[in-house]
Structure 1
Amino acid sequence: MREAPVGHQCVECVREGQKSVRQARTVFGARVTTNATPVVTYVLIALNVLLYAGELARPGLVDLLGNLGQGLVGPDGTHYLYDGGPLPGYEAVGVAHGEWYRLITSAFLHLLPTQGYFGLAHIALNLYCLWTLGRVAEEQLGKSRFLALYLLSALGGSVLVYLLAPDRSTIGASGAIFGLAAAHYLLTRRLHHDPLGGGRLIAFLLIWMVISAGITSWQGHLGGLLAGGAVGLALAFAPRRRRTAVQAAGAAAVLLVLVALVVLRTAQLTGGG
């Protein structure tokens, strides 16, 4: 027993009563907490920054971790884009040759300040979008659902590049960002509340994907959008009674489809199918 403002309380009774109180949750299954820190969002941002620092220190990191369907490494260690057969003295590299990790690691790399049309803007814009969309999505979905959405969106972008442009080397979190935007749009439709303007954001991203197709990887953008949209459908519209099971099944189905596409494309590129 312990003293209370009026009389005494049974500690064991209070503890048991607290256990019986159901935790409040969002429509999508996340626990409702006050002033929760978006840990996953911050960790993802930190990983991007950490790997960017690694790129600055060792630019060759892109050759090792970027999304490349197939390429070659010469006797002197130089990496080459190549979509032909094997060459004597050269080592075949890329997703088609067992380096499947590139499909994910590439989403945490970005253009260096001296590269491409964007330089620092590449990582700055992606991380700003991740910070803006990620905090909202993580609050509504919870940590595990949000992380699954992000990684599957990133994977979807990489897989479509692998399917349509396996001889191109691509990097960037844009596929994941497009997936977050697609899911955000669906979540707001479910809530009938759209403080970030999800519809306008999707329209802008689609327009940007078209007008920037010549200088960016439209395949990565579209793949992320489609994968994020598919996962977002399961997360947003799963029935309450079987919410977790339906959401998990939807995410698993997207993953299985992406893996199957990679296996089939690999067989085509390596002559195994």
Structure 2
Amino acid sequence: MDQAPGSPQGPRDAQHLPGCYRHPDRETGISCTRCERPICPECMISASVGFQCPECVREGSGTGHAPAANQPRTIAGGSIAADPRLITKILLGLNVAVFIAVLAVGDRLVNELVLVGEWPPYPFVAEDGVAEGQWYRLVTSMFTHQEPWHIAFNMLGLWWLGGPLEAALGRARYLALYMLSGLAGGALTYVVAGASQASLGASGAIFGLLGATAVLMRRLNYDMRPVIALLALNLLFTFTWSGIAWEAHVGGLVAGVAIAYGMVHAPRERRALVQWGTCAAVLLVVLVAVVFRTAQLV
């Protein structure tokens, strides 16, 4: 039987979702299982069934503090942090610090940090690379930018996407998501890119955050149209603008979606095993891809 559009049992209209009772500007489709007040990811505390708000957890403990077994947890099982953007701030600071160093030192520093398929790439003149055992470039290239517009776009994406994800996943899981997405983007570039194509920047990690945001919004039953539009726009730029390493974007996006799915859909009784097992599987794929490509080059 069809339900009336305005009935409580009808489909949710994302434009009429209630705001979190502690953060009214944040729309949410999740409610506390005890008091039924709407709560956002930052306020969700895992309970035996569903999620509870911080006040109900404190009241349930009888002491004003949550017992050890019911410590506040994010939707992915991470600890609730006093500063939910700490890791995002640190990552942003690292990127900016490396960018300032590049401005001060010049191309010589870029040559030591950039990721390239073969050596020597044009216009860079690095003498060594991943194929010669310098695997650290898979990490350093994630924090290296040359153009102001490049780091500006990436850091805006990191701030807008990273903060909510860090609050929803917890610090350790969020950091794993960021680093593995960046590594996956670098690995796909290393495997697929032409011999003279250089790659640098945090774009792979940022696309990983974008993919994870889509997974999280779907998990929370949020309106998917804004994130789908943002993803489509970024993919359009990826494949139409010159000078963009699409391999890094695609690699990071795929890794971010896979990791986030494992994070937010892991069954409670095997949460840690599924979450960290997913991260380990992505890391294994990255390592195998890099080893395989290196064997072709040496």
Aligned length: 233
* Worse overlay, 173-182 or 61-70: 61-70
Conserved in 2, the CA contact under 8 Å of 1:28 and 1:141? Answer: yes
**In structure 1, which of residues 118, 123, 127 is the aligned counterpart of residue 151 of structure 2?**
123
Q: Which among 146, 165, 168 is matched to residue 137 of structure 1?
A: 165
Shift of 1:268: 0.9
Q: Out of 133, 136, 143, which is 1:108 matched to? A: 143
Deviations 1:117-163 (A, max 9, x none): xx311111100110010000000000000000000110011001100
Q: Which residue of 2 aligns with 1:9?
A: none
Letter in 1 for 2:234: L
Partners of 1:25 and 1:18 lie apart in 2 by: 11
Contact between 2:262 and 2:274, CA under 8 Å: does it hold in 1?
yes
User: 1:155, 1:224 within 8 Å by CA — same for their partners in 2?
Assistant: yes
The answer to which of 230-239 and 184-193 deviates more is 230-239
- Distance apart, 1:19 and its partner CA: 4.2
Identical pairs, percent: 41
1:197 deviates by: 2.6
Map residues 262-273 of structure 1 onto 2, 5 A cutoff. 262-270=290-298
Q: TM-score, normalised by structure 2?
A: 0.73
CA contact (8 A) 2:177 2:259 kept: yes
Q: Structure 2 counterpart of 1:68, which letter?
A: V
Question: Is residue 112 of structure 2 the alignment partner of residue 67 of structure 1?
Answer: no
* CA positional deviation for 1:21: 5.1
Distance 1:105 1:20, change over 3 A: closer
Partner of 2:129: 94
Matched, 1:42 2:89: yes
Q: Relative CO higher for 1 or 2, CA cutoff 8 Å, sep ≥ 6?
A: 1
Give 1:207 shift: 1.6
- Select the residue among 209, 212, 217 that pairs with 2:238: 209
Partner secondary structure for residue 268 of structure 2: coil
TM, length-normalised to structure 1: 0.79
Q: Identify the residue that residue 71 of structure 2 maps to in structure 1.
A: 23
CA distance in 2, matches of 1:31, 1:96: 39
Go from structure 1 to structure 2 and tell me whether the alpha carbon gap of 1:173 and 1:202 turns closer, same or farther (over 3 Å shift).
same
| More moved, 147-156 vs 228-237 | 228-237
Contact 1:70 1:97 in 2 (8 A): no
Distance 1:30 1:97, change over 3 A: same
Greater radius of gyration (CA): 1
Q: How does 1:151-230 map to 2 (within 5 A)?
A: 151-165=179-193, 166-194=195-223, 197-212=226-241, 214-230=242-258
Which of 82, 98, 101 does residue 54 from structure 1 map onto? Answer: 101
Please, which of 260, 265, 284 is the counterpart of residue 232 of structure 1?
260
C-alpha distance in structure 2 between counterparts of 1:196 and 1:244, whole Å = 31
CA RMSD of superposed structures (Å): 2.2
SS of the equivalent of 1:105 reads helix
Q: Which amino acid aligns with 1:251?
A: C
Give the gaps of 5 or more residues in structure 2: 1-61
Amino acid of the structure 1 residue aligned with 2:130: V
Distance between the aligned counterparts of 2:130 and 2:68, measured in 1? 50
Give the equivalent residue in structure 2 for 1:88: none
Unpaired runs of 5+ residues, structure 1, are 1-13, 82-91, 112-118
Quickly say closer, same or farther: Cα 1:18–1:208, change in 2 above 3 A.
closer
